């Protein structure tokens, strides 16, 4: 069986109609690829449409305030992607007059663009013969060819890239004929096949076009491939957010300045503790180390986020505490104003669903 020919024929019959597939504009391709990192298409689509509506060109994105960009990104996670997106848009708009690099090597020089994204833009927009290698590609090739190399190891990516390039160009050892190279079609096809057919768990191999030639299926190893070593140990963190409410039902928020998760997003004053704490402990902390000078009237527990908020290597256990104070809080905001700022989605969801918590 000719793997490349069968794969591309399958793609042309089964591909999804996605907006970034109807263009060769590198701005839109770049946006979609950055948004779909660590994100499913169904989740990323509304964000893509919102961004292209708010920022129809790279110049529009470059001229936007970072907070506006982060607000539109709110809920998509991995916020460093949005910050890098904004910085790269400024570089392209102001230093390159809106023109994207037209090759893989130069694209790699842009902030936030790694090997996968550079390969996608170079092949989709400029027909450069360079393979993309993402989780879908790892999975399809590992299963079809029964490759047991650990994909968590950096050297393995070169192995898969070499194989993908051979398949893209049909330069397989022992094969004389070579088909016409269409890098964009091949890359789109193998990623789509991994997303729709050769899915991570319980793929329906009975309807797969490769069910007579897939090595992993013949050897009953589908569930074992690709091989990936264990993830980094998950760190548990305990966040206690303090919602101060003054006499005009205004509250205090702060921009998160520590590098790490949620950098430059907003949050309430925070006590991070080593373990989950009770009312007495947090009450003592609030009184001993207040974030404001106003006299405290009362302290009460608000709704706790029932399940840990899971990030890639961190589980956050979050509690909210309400503190009513005398007088007016300096630099405080009312409820409607607070909603306009970019927050981590777990905090924003709490704000939106608990309006009464922001009243006296």
Strand, coil or helix: what is 97? coil
Q: Is 78 left (phi over 0), alpha (psi -120 to 50) or beta?
A: left
Q: Which of 9, 13, 33, 336 is catalytic?
A: 33
Question: What is the rounded distance in angstroms from the CA atom of residue 338 to the CA atom of residue 153?
Answer: 44
Check if the beta carbon of residue 122 is closer than 8 Å to that of residue 107. Answer: yes
DSSP secondary structure code for residue 296 in this structure: E
Question: What is the rounded distance in angstroms from the CA atom of residue 56 to the CA atom of residue 53?
Answer: 6
Q: How many CB atoms lie within 10 A of CB 22?
A: 9
Check if the beta carbon of residue 137 is closer than 8 Å to that of residue 194. Answer: yes
Of 143, 100, 142, 146, residue with least CA distance to 125: 100
In this predicted structure, what is the pLDDT of residue 176? 43
191 φ/ψ angles, rounded to the nearest 5 degrees:
-70, -40
Question: What is the rounded distance in angstroms from the CA atom of residue 108 to the CA atom of residue 56?
Answer: 23
Q: Estimate the crossing angle of helix 154-169 against helix 3-14, to 10 degrees.
A: 90
pLDDT digit of tens for each residue in the chain (360 aa)? Answer: 689 999 999 999 999 999 999 999 999 999 999 999 989 999 999 999 999 999 999 999 999 999 999 999 999 999 999 999 999 999 999 999 999 999 999 999 999 999 999 999 999 999 999 999 999 999 999 999 999 999 999 889 999 999 999 999 875 444 444 456 799 999 999 999 999 999 999 999 999 999 999 999 999 999 999 999 887 789 999 999 999 999 999 999 999 998 889 999 999 999 999 999 999 999 999 999 889 999 999 999 997 777 899 998 899 999 999 999 999 999 999 999 999 999 999 999 999 999 999 998
In this predicted structure, what is the pLDDT of residue 181? 75
In this predicted structure, what is the pLDDT of residue 173? 47
Report the half-sphere exposure of 359 (CA within 13 A, side-chain side). 3
In this predicted structure, what is the pLDDT of residue 174? 46
DSSP secondary structure code for residue 207 in this structure: G
Is 288 an annotated catalytic residue?
A: no
In this predicted structure, what is the pLDDT of residue 180? 60
Check if the beta carbon of residue 74 is closer than 8 Å to that of residue 345. Answer: yes
Question: What is the rounded distance in angstroms from the CA atom of residue 29 to the CA atom of residue 328?
Answer: 48
Check if the beta carbon of residue 42 is closer than 8 Å to that of residue 54. Answer: no
């Amino acid at each position: 069986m000719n793997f490349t020919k069968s794969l591309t024929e399958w793609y042309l019959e089964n591909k999804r109609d996605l907006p970034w597939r109807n263009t060769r504009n590198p701005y839109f391709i770049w946006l979609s690829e950055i948004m779909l990192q660590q994100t499913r298409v169904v989740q990323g689509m509304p964000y893509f449409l919102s961004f292209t509506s708010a920022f129809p060109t790279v110049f529009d994105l470059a001229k936007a305030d970072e907070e506006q960009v982060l607000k539109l990104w709110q809920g998509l996670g991995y916020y460093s992607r949005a910050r890098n997106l904004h910085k790269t848009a400024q570089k392209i708009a102001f230093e390159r007059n809106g023109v994207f690099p037209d090759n893989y090597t130069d694209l790699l020089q842009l902030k936030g663009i790694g090997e996968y994204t550079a390969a996608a833009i170079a092949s989709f927009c400029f027909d450069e013969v360079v393979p993309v290698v993402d989780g879908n590609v790892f999975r399809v090739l590992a299963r079809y060819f029964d490759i047991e190399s650990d994909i968590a190891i950096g050297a393995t990516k070169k192995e898969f890239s070499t194989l993908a390039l051979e398949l893209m160009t049909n330069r397989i050892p022992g094969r004389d004929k070579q088909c016409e190279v269409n890098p964009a079609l091949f890359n789109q096809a193998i990623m789509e096949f991994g997303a729709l057919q050769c899915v991570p768990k319980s793929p329906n191999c009975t309807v797969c076009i490769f069910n007579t030639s897939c090595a992993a299926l013949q050897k009953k190893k589908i569930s074992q491939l690709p091989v990936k070593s264990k993830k980094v140990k998950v760190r548990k963190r305990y966040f206690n957010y303090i919602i101060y409410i003054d006499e005009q039902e205004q509250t205090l928020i702060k921009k998160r300045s520590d590098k790490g998760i949620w950098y430059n997003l907003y949050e309430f004053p925070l006590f991070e503790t080593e373990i989950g704490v009770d009312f007495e402990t947090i009450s003592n902390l609030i009184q001993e180390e207040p974030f404001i000078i106003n006299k405290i009237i009362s302290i009460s527990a608000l709704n706790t986020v029932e399940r840990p908020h899971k990030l890639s290597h961190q589980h956050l256990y979050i509690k909210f505490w309400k503190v009513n104070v005398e007088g007016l809080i300096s630099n405080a905001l009312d409820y409607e104003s607070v909603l306009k700022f970019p927050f981590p989605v777990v905090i924003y969801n709490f704000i939106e669903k608990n309006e009464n918590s922001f009243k006296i």
